[in-house]
Amino acid sequence: MNKFIIEGQQMAYQDVGQGPVIVLGHSYLWDNQMWAPQIEVLSQSYRCIVPDLWGHGDSDSAPANTRTLQDYAQQVLALLDHLDIDQFVLVGLSVGGMWGTELVSLAPSRVKGLVLMDTFVGLEPEVAHRKYWAMLQIIEEQRAIPEAIIEAIVPLFFANNVLQDNPQLIEAFTASLRAIKSERAAEIARIGRMVFGRRDMIEEIEKFALPTLIAVGQEDKPRPVLESYLMQDCISGSQLVQIPQAGHISNLEQPELVNTMLQSFLAQIGFK
């Protein structure tokens, strides 16, 4: 992993391959390794930059004055400036799409295409917001993710048949959640509040004028298909793809389909 120092904290990132640049943003509670099946294929033709969100993977806790996903988008732009990368396509899943749209708003001329996967950039619905806020409070207080919360969280990320179809996904994710302790747990809660307390970007994305692909697992529980249709209605000319037999982490449940989808989108927009 590469490290970039910003405001005294280390942001970890992968830098793999050569060619036009794709920036990939992972989901909350995951890290850059979530994108492994895509990096393996895309890095043969593109340069993949994959940062770890603050408090995730090999990244440090967020700098003290980082309070919003807009702040994080500024920091990713600083990383890209540091790497002398001007033009890129952004692929964001879940929170990756949330800060990804913030980044488009900050630097619209630099983003040549946008892929929003299993995400929603409007306000978090009130019922979910209350539920997640209560979970984050417990995680912060206990400096760990209690087993009851793990049992509640894990099924949210996958399709209904994942235990039969891909049990190792469940096992690996469950183990990663159990390993989150002490200060890292407190930081996960802090970042979670930025995610679920994000600002409403719906009016902002109506101004977007770049090639945009919206994709969603048909069985995505936290980000149901309807939310993707709402975003498609807002972004002129955007395409929407539903990914069958996939939940929230659709790129790991249907890696070949997602790889083909991304390669097709990149070819379609002439990104080479």
Q: Which segment of 36-40, 161-165, 173-177, 208-212 scores lowest on mean pLDDT?
A: 161-165
Tell how far CA 257 is from the center of its chain: 18
Output the average pLDDT for the chain. 97
pLDDT in tens, 1-18: 999 999 999 999 999 999
The residues with which 217 forms a beta bridge, in sequence order, are 243
What CA–CA distance (Å, rounded) separates 96 from 91?
A: 7
DSSP state of 180: -
What CA–CA distance (Å, rounded) separates 175 from 179?
A: 6
CA distance between the termini of the chain: 25
Query: Rounded mean pLDDT of 31-44?
Result: 98
What CA–CA distance (Å, rounded) separates 20 from 217?
A: 27
pLDDT in tens, 120-154: 999 999 999 999 999 999 999 999 999 999 999 99
What does the H/E/C string look like for 182-251?
HHHHHHHHHHHHHHHCCCCCHHHHCCCCCCEEEEEECCCCCCCHHHHHHHHHHCCCCEEEEECCCCCCHH
pLDDT in tens, 208-264: 999 999 999 999 999 999 999 999 999 999 999 999 999 999 999 999 999 999 999
Contacts 24+ apart (CB under 8 A), 41-44: 41/259, 41/263, 42/17, 42/259, 42/262, 42/263, 43/16, 43/17, 44/17
Q: What is the pLDDT of residue 63?
A: 97
Place of tokens 């708003």: 105
Look at residue 150 and give its three-state secondary structure. helix
Architecture of the domain delimited by 2-122+201-268: 3-Layer(aba) Sandwich (3.40)
Q: What is the pLDDT of residue 165?
A: 86
